[in-house]
Amino acid sequence: MSGESMTLRALHGRRALITGAGSGIGASIADAYAAAGARLFLADRDEESLDIVRERLERNGTTVSTVVVDVADRDRTRAMVEQCVSDLGGVDVLVNSAGTVTESPFVEMEVDMWEQMIAVDLTSVFLCCRWAAPHMVKQGAGRIINIASQLGIKGGVGLVHYSAAKAGVIGLTKALAREMAPHGVLVNAIAPGPIETPLLGGVDTGWKEAMRAALPLGRFGYVEEVSPTAVLLASDPGGNLYVGQVLGPNSGDVMP
Ligand SMILES: NC(=O)c1ccc[n+]([C@@H]2O[C@H](COP(=O)([O-])OP(=O)(O)OC[C@H]3O[C@@H](n4cnc5c(N)ncnc54)[C@H](O)[C@@H]3O)[C@@H](O)[C@H]2O)c1
């Protein structure tokens, strides 16, 4: 087999559940996983965007199941994982990409805004891992990839809630990685820098310009520059030695 076809089939037959797959990084990971031969179960709360991604993938010959779900909902996420296991026969890879961002100066931040952020960007990751991990332990193999953010490492102004949620995702990833590795389940995070997706649409323009200027690379990233990292972490042997790592496609913003 040539090097190119080995790369193309890196995830051949793997059963991958991807949340936030309707847009941005999650949709790009769905495309990259499909190209690598994975079987997909895609979740998002936005039915319309999920349908667009599914139709695009099906046109290219990939079999895709989808479910509309709020990842902050404990019962719906449990049902989502069970449906994935029932449709695909198991779950080999879980990618937690669903997330939102809002902004507020800390002294004006409503408690509701904090609670909403923790629910959607942190508790959701706990829930999806919580329901998927037992299946992976039973299989004796699995990969979990959590999409954090470099702001979970360095913090962001007006983003105390988001930074705390993403730091929580990183802590959860490391602890879960230690507990799961003996069972053959490898857990890692990707902490991107600013990436051109709809998520940044609502972020202050001045912040974006200052951020761009401060980046060693001088530019934001594109989703196609993040998804290959998710392929690597899910692949065998490429991802076999990554345990509790936080990989940073971030234009040089954070250098751990
Ligand atoms: N874009 C960036 O600059 C950047 C940087 C670092 C980290 N991230 C993280 O990457 C992940 C993906 O972000 P993106 O940039 O692709 O954003 P995006 O807005 O393009 O995609 C996010 C997707 O998540 C879905 N979603 C949001 N809340 C949900 C919920 N409660 N239940 C189910 N689905 C939900 C949205 O409908 C959307 O399809 C997020 O976790 C985000 O925090 C993004």
The pLDDT value recorded for residue 3 is 45
Q: Can you tell me the distance from the alpha carbon of 150 to that of 247, in angstroms, rounded to the nearest whole number? A: 9
> Domain 3-247 carries which CATH code?
3.40.50.720
Contact of 25 with 227, CB cutoff 8 Å: yes
Cα–ligand 1 centroid distance for 121 (angstroms): 9
Task: Please give the distance, rounded to the nearest whole angstrom, from the Cα atom of residue 25 to the centre of ligand 1.
Answer: 7
Whether the Cβ atoms of residue 21 and residue 97 lie closer than 8 Å to each other: yes
- What local confidence, expressed as pLDDT, does residue 1 receive? 40
* Domain ranges for the chain: 3-247
- 162 assigned to active site: yes
Ligand 1 centroid from CA 2, angstroms: 35
Q: Which of 33, 162, 222, 242 is catalytic?
A: 162
Segment-wise mean pLDDT, segments of 10 residues, the chain, 256 residues: 56 97 98 97 98 96 95 98 98 98 97 98 99 98 98 96 99 99 98 95 84 95 98 98 98 94
State residue 204's pLDDT score: 80
Lining residues, ligand 1, CB within 6 Å: 20, 22-26, 44-46, 49, 69-72, 97-100, 120, 147, 149, 192, 194-195, 197-200
